[in-house]
Amino acid sequence: MADTIDIVIPDLGDFENVEVIEVLVSNGDTVEREDGLITVETDKASMDVPSPENGLIGSLTVAVGDTVSTGDVIGTLTMQVGDTVVITPTIAVPISGETTVLAGKEDAPPKAAGKQTLVVPDLGDFDDVEVIEVHIAAGDKVEIEDSLVTLETDKASIDVPAVVAGTIESVLVKVGDKVSEGSSLGVIDAIAAAVVPKVEETVVGKISPVPAPKPEPQPVQEQAPKTLPAIDEAGFSKAHASPSVRKLARELGVNLVQVTGKGAKNRILHDDVKAFVKAILTGQASAPAGSGLPKVPSIDFSKFGEIDVQPLTRIQKISGPRLQASWINLPHVTQHDLADITELETKRQELKGPAKERGISLTPLAFIMKACVAALEEFPKVNSSLSDDGENLVYKKYCHLGFAADTPQGLVVPVIRDVGEKDVYEIAAELGELSALAREGKLKAPQLQGASFTISSLGGIGGTAFTPIVNAPEVAILGVSRSSMQPLWNGSEFEPRLMLPLSFSYDHRVIDGAQAARFTTFLGKVLADVEALLKASPQ
């Protein structure tokens, strides 16, 4: 079965009768969505007209030298539904008709039956997320909430559930592909049913033409930045980019090998090239990744004895560069302190029994989180972030706390929201639930987003102190080590007290040493007064 659609020129902005300077395909060619079909040139720059869907070129009615305008039909595309790929028009191309992106909320109206495209829901701040497992195949029957694919960010694995029931017509992704919000996963012959997903509703009515990227004239720089890399012709020719993007890159002296593509299938877009140049010119990037740092010597360890090479986990591969970026870009300082939790631990032991009857494991971390809320309210700068331009501080009026959870794949950071509105029992219950989901790799995107401050507790393992790395764009992180009994002078004699080591790392651009010391001192006082801490809990 196949559907045929018109290929329409998207919004060209203020330009009309734009000249076709290159035809990139022929009748009968197989194309994928976002592949360039023709290249047009305005008085500012050239741009590609992309394929609206996967399929076969049925006919192409333009030639080099012709002129086209927004809305012109330049040919037809036969979309194949089957083992190849194809979807109903849910991407932003100038195709008229109504469609609903497969994301809704609990009060969404019933979903109509028929062929529909399954797409990636809102992933928060994550783009180009790797597909690590595909759970469906053509012909499979799925129900609402059945897992379609598993994605992995730098923090955790995420299952993408089906939002309608039906039979899978085709699968559009495979293991190793990169997807973002709105990326197509497959085509389903849906059964009419109410949509009950947990993501926000996104309904698209008449799909308006979407502007093609409009390259802006680049200012002539009298002093060319020395950090722009020389063009590697071999790599340049293999870069996933259209002819117009290649032309723009050559005009600006940009080596496409060094540019990260943000388009479908990591395709390099005009905006990606301009963003790369802007980063160089504004000093946000002094050179291509890693080129400004001395390299670690490459050594053949097998020369010295037997070795065993084991691959990094996916979480390690993804989180490693982020941690390195945070460590390099943020001036880290760590303040070490001790908090007296003798009374807190006594009280916790009293409350463990009632908590256990409610199925809750009452850990010290629940009390520490509650105390952190009080400290963040007292020192709101610790609960802030630097604006992108580095000119302002963004103060957050919410208190969402992330905590580092140890899993077989590595550390992930689930987030408990609005901790100040919860008592220690509720916090402990969420800690247990999120930790279990983290170990099973079943955390969802919203459970990993929005933290304003993070706690990394190694108390259950050991250690006396460490230097946690700030989880940018946060400006601070609290590290907690194992508590121990220590002699404390009370003015007349030494008495044994249970002391908790605190390691508070912070971004020195935002927090100075005096503020850091005041923060840990205040936090220690809150932890020492457990009765006041519990009274602060909501009733």
As to burial, measured by CB atoms within 10 angstroms (0-12 exposed, 13-18 middle, 19+ buried), residue 303 is: exposed
Look up 508 and say whether it is catalytic.
Answer: yes
Cross-strand partners of 402: 415, 454
Q: Are 45 and 244 in contact (CB under 8 A)?
A: yes
3-state secondary structure 327-371: HHHCCEEEEEEEEECHHHHHHHHHHHHHHHHCCCCCCHHHHHHHH
* d(C-alpha 71, C-alpha 77), whole Å: 16
Contacts by 224-232 with C-beta closer than 8 Å and gap 24+?
224/253, 225/280, 225/281, 227/280, 227/285, 227/286, 227/287, 227/288, 227/291, 227/292, 228/253, 228/254, 228/255, 228/277, 228/280, 229/255, 229/257, 229/258, 229/287, 229/288, 229/291, 230/255, 231/255, 232/257
Q: Quick check: helix, strand or coil at residue 521?
A: helix
Single-letter residue type at 190: A
* d(C-alpha 340, C-alpha 485), whole Å: 10
Q: Quick check: helix, strand or coil at residue 68?
A: strand
Q: Quick check: helix, strand or coil at residue 513?
A: helix
Q: Are 54 and 88 in contact (CB under 8 A)?
A: no
Q: Which of 240, 332, 336, 508 is catalytic?
A: 508
* d(C-alpha 489, C-alpha 286), whole Å: 53
* d(C-alpha 22, C-alpha 448), whole Å: 46
Tokens read off for 157: 């694995």
DSSP symbols for 136-198? --TT-EE-TT-EEEEEE-SS-EEEEEPSSEEEEEEE---TT-EE-TT-EEEEEEEEPEE---S
Single-letter residue type at 16: E
Q: Are 147 and 133 in contact (CB under 8 A)?
A: no
Phi, psi of 99 (to 5 degrees): -150, 160
Instruction: Encode burial over 173-204: b for 16+ CB neighbours within 10 A, e otherwise.
Output: beeebbbebbbbbbbbebbebebbbebeebee
As to burial, measured by CB atoms within 10 angstroms (0-12 exposed, 13-18 middle, 19+ buried), residue 49 is: buried
Q: Are 409 and 312 in contact (CB under 8 A)?
A: no
> Which of these, 173, 196, 176, 168, lies nearest to 184 by C-alpha position?
173
Just list the catalytic residues.
Answer: 508
